[in-house]
Amino acid sequence: MVESPLYKEELRQFIKSALDEDVGHGDLTSLATIPADQNLSAAMVARENIVVAGMFIAVEVIRTCDPLAKIEIITADGAEVVAGSIMLKVEGNARKLLTAERTALNILQHLSGIATLTRIYVREIEHTDCRLLDTRKTIPGYRKLAKYAAALGGAMNHRMRLDDGLLIKDNHIAQVGSISQAIEAAKAHDTSASTIGITVECDTLDQAADAVEAGADRLLLDNMRNDQLTSAVAKYKGQVKLEASGGVTLSTIKEIAETGVDYISVGRITQSAPAVDIGLDYLD
């Protein structure tokens, strides 16, 4: 079970911002056409096979708009559901539920899209010991939620923020002068907050050798061919953690994992996962 990523106040602010963006000063159409005391019953339905993520937020959006709404959660976050499955039932004030509908669905569809795509990637490598990692490639404001959804899909969360891990990349190395100088500077700094030790991005096997010799804890093997990854695994597996990254797709991730690397990071699971299709159907 993956815990909610937002504190109570963070959740309240997130929902307020989302509703302010969508509703503005009021739902003109519902106010104009729906009697104030009219109720409705509805069911939230999956239109395709999905992994659910963000249900707790969708529920809070509905409750924010209609605190008296009766809500029955049928599928919680992390559940896999097939097309046609009822995920939630709600009964309440028609105006208020219609106002909440789009915001609740937008969030649920986006996060479930991340969880669903992540699960597909994970299944491609589950026969190996390799773990799928997410990245910081997220929509601004959705970092915690995107990584929450990725974890529900089966990925391991990588750095949440820049203060969460020490990762020396090519631009850092170019500014400092060399991999060994960058690692030396990193070791002189307080690295206790780093969840990934001193990680170094390497584009070549020569850079990997330099990083290991200088004392790196982990290598980010960027855009390497599978034969290069296999060589890195043969030389350094067990000495340092090995992470493959760069242009990984569903058609390539299986063979990359089979080289023996410890991790594969994939930006697209949080950066460009398609929203899934979920609808709110009104019941008689």
- Tokens 């000063």 belong to residue: 25
β pairing state of 80-81 and 131-133: unpaired
Catalytic residue among 77, 101, 201, 210: 201
- 169 catalytic? Reply is yes
Catalytic residue among 63, 89, 137, 268: 137
- Tokens 């409750």 belong to residue: 63
Whether the CB-CB separation of 183 and 216 falls below 8 Å is answered with yes
- 201 catalytic? Reply is yes
Catalytic residue among 63, 89, 91, 102: 102
Catalytic residue among 222, 241, 243, 262: 222
Per-residue b or e along 188-198, where b marks 16 or more CB atoms closer than 10 Å to that residue's CB: eeeeeebebbb
- 102 catalytic? Reply is yes
CB within 8 A of 177, min separation 6: which ones? Answer: none
- 91 catalytic? Reply is no
Whether the CB-CB separation of 86 and 44 falls below 8 Å is answered with yes
Question: Helix, strand, coil proportions of the chain in percent (round to 5)?
Answer: 45, 20, 35
Distance, CA of 221 to CA of 235 (rounded, Å) = 13
- Helix ranges (DSSP H) in the chain: 8-23, 28-33, 55-65, 94-125, 143-153, 170-176, 179-188, 205-214, 226-236, 253-257, 268-271
Identify the three-state secondary structure at position 268.
helix
- 124 catalytic? Reply is no
| Measured torsion, CA atoms of residues 21, 22, 26, 27, in degrees rounded to the nearest 10 | 170
Catalytic residue among 169, 187, 225, 255: 169
State the catalytic residues: 102, 137, 169, 201, 222
